[in-house]
Structure 1
Amino acid sequence: MYSSHISLFCPLDLHKFSYNFATMSGLVQAMSLLKVTFEKYAGKDGNKQSLTKAELSDLLRAELPQAGTSSKAEVDKFFSMLDNDKDGVVDFKEYVTFVAALTAFFIKLCQQCFLLPATMSGVVQAMTLLKATFDEYAGKDGDEDTMTKAELSEMLRNELPEGGPKAEVDDFFSMLDNDKDGVVDFKEFVSFVTALAVMCCS
């Protein structure tokens, strides 16, 4: 859905930034952490482009401790739900979509975790950075739960190497604002980051 517009904002290689967090914006850090965490668990059973059920189980236990108590049946059900194309593995797009949904659902968890950076897993750090980035730009024009076009434009200029000219930002904002209420909420923002991360890593 976003691919034709995302290319305007995505001249970056997340692999290049993976271990140089000091030079990255919060948004790029979040995307890099998602990629690094995926690569940490993917490929142990062969294919480095996907997670098997066993690899996903390892990731959930290590990165989201609350999930470590899940039964085998629960993990099987979760894996089946996550594996959208039913090919028996979870690829990067399916993994990032999952983290995005989790982030949108656990906004309060992210805010609490942000106070404890030393104890956070890579996935939780990425979730926290996404929320912190949104909060940094949202609300300057009023509602702290949404971004206006001006706030989104400022975020793109500051967080990504190429912010795109105004006409392109206008088109992009219109596409991102799914419910056409004139602002971008956190769920819409996270959907954008999901598409961006997938495009940058493909």
Structure 2
Amino acid sequence: MMAPPQTLQQALAVLVCTFQRYSKQEGDRFTLSRGELKELLEKELPSLGDVQVKEGAFEELLSILDANKDGEVDFQEYIRFVAVACTLCHEFFVDSPVVLPRGQ
């Protein structure tokens, strides 16, 4: 019998599957178009909507993420964003008790 996947393994699978779920909606299935990225952020990180940001913030984010300037976000660019988001979360919660998030 195979052991159940560990939390980190599950988290990695979620990151990959989330990218793939949105990237295959239109055009190149290996990249996120502007619309796919916007939908991913709105649905997967809804708390970002609670933050009041300046006009054009999404376009600025897309510009920063799109390192090769092809107008889309590939998996490597997406993972850089996830790494930065994880770093910010770590810094924010560094003194909080360690509690695994509950499933939805």
TM range (shorter): 0.7 to 0.9
Following TM superposition, by how much is the alpha carbon of 1:66 offset from its aligned partner in structure 2, in angstroms? 2.1
Report 1:111-190 matches (<5 A): 114=99, 116-119=101-104
Matching residue's letter, 1:52: S
Q: Is the alpha carbon distance of 1:66 and 1:44 closer, same or farther for their aligned partners in structure 2, counting shifts above 3 Å?
A: same
Aligned to 1:49: 30
Measure how far apart 1:38 and its partner are. Answer: 0.5
- Aligned twin of 1:60: 41
Percent identity of paired positions between Structure 1 and Structure 2: 34
Q: How many residues are paired up?
A: 97
1:97 to 77, 80, 89: 80
Gaps of 5+ in 2: none
- The DSSP-based 3-state class of the residue aligned with 1:86 is coil
Q: Is it true that 1:81 corresponds to 2:64 in the alignment?
A: yes
Greater relative contact order: 1 or 2 (C-alpha under 8 angstroms, separation 6 or more)? 1
Q: Structure 1, residues 124-159: CA drift from partner, whole Å, max 9, x if none?
A: xxxxxxxxxxxxxxxxxxxxxxxxxxxxxxxxxxxx
Deviation at 1:67, TM superposition (A): 2.0
Higher helix fraction (1 or 2): 1
Q: CA deviation at 1:45?
A: 1.5
What is the letter of the counterpart of residue 77 of structure 1?
Answer: E
Query: Does residue 23 in structure 1 map to residue 4 in structure 2?
Result: yes
